[in-house]
Amino acid sequence: MSDMTSFIRELPKAELHLHIEGTLEPELRFKLAARNSIALPYSTLEEMRAGYLFHDLPSFLAVYYDAMSVLKTSQDFYDLAWAYLERAHAENVRYAEIFFDPQAHTSRGVAFHTVLSGLRNAVLDGRRLLGIRAQLIMCILRDHSAAYGMATLLESLAYRDLIIGIGLDSDEAGNPPAKFAEVFRRAREEGYRLTMHCDVDQAGSTDHIRQCLDVIGVERIDHGVNVLDDASLVAAAAARGIGFTVCPVSNRYVTGELKAHELRRMLQRGLKVTVNSDDPAYFDAYVTDNLVAAAAAAGLTEPDLVQLERNAFEVSWLGPGAKDALLGELDRFEAAALSEEA
């Protein structure tokens, strides 16, 4: 392991853009299919991996939603989240904000409560048994109607204290942020924190980022690399301290490029940019791999990497006490790493 790789692995990290359904590794998919007596069109892990063919967002989403059919019971969702938390803990992720997509489950007959209870129990055990903190963000699927999104938001209110924020994901083409203005207005009134995906190089990317800032009033944008295409957007996002949750390896799958140089430019312009893994089981890269790939491609230094994690803790939705404690941990890590070098 190179010095840079071990530095990144040991760096205290926060992950803010992670879809729990995107952590479904082929091994667990087979195990859950067997437990739930679901027939899969694959007989080996290799065959399953070979079926994971995608080159853009829609082709990825087709594979992704199909795989979720094995998730049925609260225990299944627990096992999914627990596997992620163990893996994240091993990479020194100290805090994770975890997206889940209830509509991808309720639409196939799995109750909201089943999804949330499994995820919540894993989050509680992660804290108790591993010392990793996590909170849940509910995403609305943007390729469904705003009315369905509102119904899902209203359903979530029974579990208001288990969910920190609301996001927006899935296929962006023809589904701009403004389509969900009412849903997000209500979410804000209910006290949820707000974020939205603005995927990379979409038709209307800069318009969508502007809508996020001016119409929705988000605190963070997931991906959002195209902010660089418009200097006035960069200035507005920097002034408001908007967090950007960039996912380099995911970018490579859906656009052919890591966008690592864009990441470096975002850092240089003072944007609160962070690095995350998005759907690591499908992109074969957890957060350490994403940071290693971006650092190698864009020549990021150790202080750059510390800054990326400082940004992540700062734009996280932790309470002030926990946030300060983790920022302190990062400061101590940085001081110890620098004194070793001296």
| Length of the chain counted residue by residue | 342
Nearer to Zn ion, 245 or 307 (CB): 245
Separation CA 170–CA 199 (nearest Å): 9
Tell me how far, at minimum, the Cβ of 328 lies from Zn ion, in Å.
29
The answer to whether the CB of 4 falls within 8 A of the CB of 292 is yes
Shortest distance, CB of residue 108 to Zn ion, whole angstroms? 20
**Interface residue list for Zn ion (CB under 5 A):** 278
Q: What is the DSSP letter of 47?
A: H
**Cα dihedral angle (220, 12, 307, 139), rounded to 10 degrees?**
-10
**C-beta closer to Zn ion: residue 97 or 278:** 278
**Residue whose CB is less far from Zn ion, 40 or 98:** 98
Smallest distance, Zn ion to C-beta of residue 244, A: 12
Closest by Cα among 332, 325, 335, 312 to 15: 312
Rg (CA), the chain: 19
CB of 20 to Zn ion, least distance (A): 11
Task: Tell the smallest beta-carbon distance from residue 227 to Zn ion (Å).
Answer: 16
Smallest CA-to-CA distance from 134 within 185, 175, 78 is with: 78
> Per-residue DSSP letters for 224-279?
-GGGGG-HHHHHHHHHHT-EEEE-HHHHHHHHSS--HHHHHHHHHTT-EEEE--BS
Q: How far is the CB of 128 from Zn ion (least distance, A)?
A: 28
Q: List, as one string, the DSSP characters of 319-332.
A: -HHHHHHHHHHHHH
* Residue 247 burial class via C-beta count within 10 angstroms: exposed 0-12, middle 13-18, buried 19 and up: buried
Determine what percent of the chain falls in helix, strand and coil, rounding each to the nearest 5: 60, 15, 25
Sign, CA torsion 279/284/287/291: negative
Nearest-approach distance from CB 168 to Zn ion, in angstroms? 10
Least Å from the CB of residue 189 to Zn ion: 25
Cβ of residue 17: shortest distance to Zn ion, in angstroms?
6
Could you say which DSSP state residue 298 is in? H
The nearer residue to Zn ion, 139 or 228, going by C-beta atoms, is 139
SS3 195: strand
Q: Which is nearer to Zn ion, 278 or 289 (CB)?
A: 278
